[in-house]
Copies of this chain bind each other. A is one copy, B any other.
Amino acid sequence: MESPDFSKGLVPAIAQDAETGEVLMVAYMNDQAWEETLRTGRAVYWSRRRGLWRKGEESGNHQDVVEIRIDCDLDTILLRVHQHGGAACHTGFRSCFHRRRDGDGWQVVGEPLFDPAKVYGKESR
């Protein structure tokens, strides 16, 4: 069995909405996050700041893993997920990629689905 190649460090993991194909976020995994994701069927990432990051543990916006893909070099993971609570981004938007290039700047696409101040404590994200 080939596993993701963690020999060079953390591996990026894309979370994509399994129903719509929307790219929701990118985070990172180490072997521990990878194993727990496989075991539990929920997306678990590794954050340099806070360590093992069980996505949605605080906000409730966890991600059920529908399908896992790996790229040709075994160094990027693609999770197709069911996003609970509607929003993956800590800003309250459905996707972390809610800004679109427009001329020399960025245009916000869509509306936030929740108020981060009501969901998270001030020290966490």
Binding site for B on A (CB under 8 A): 1-2, 12, 14, 16, 20-23, 25-26, 38, 67-73, 76, 78, 89-91, 93, 96-101, 104-106, 109
Contacts and interface: CB of A to CB of B under 8 A. Distances in A.
Given A1-B104, A72-B90, 9 more contacts: A21-B21, A21-B22, A23-B23, A69-B99, A69-B100, A69-B101, A70-B99, A71-B96, A73-B96
Q: How many copies of this kind of chain does the complex include?
A: 2
Contact of A23 (B25, B78, B93, B105): B78
24 contacts: A1-B104, A1-B105, A2-B106, A12-B26, A14-B23, A14-B26, A16-B21, A21-B21, A21-B22, A23-B78, A25-B71, A26-B76, A38-B101, A68-B100, A68-B101, A69-B97, A69-B99, A70-B97, A70-B99, A70-B106, A71-B97, A72-B96, A73-B96, A76-B97
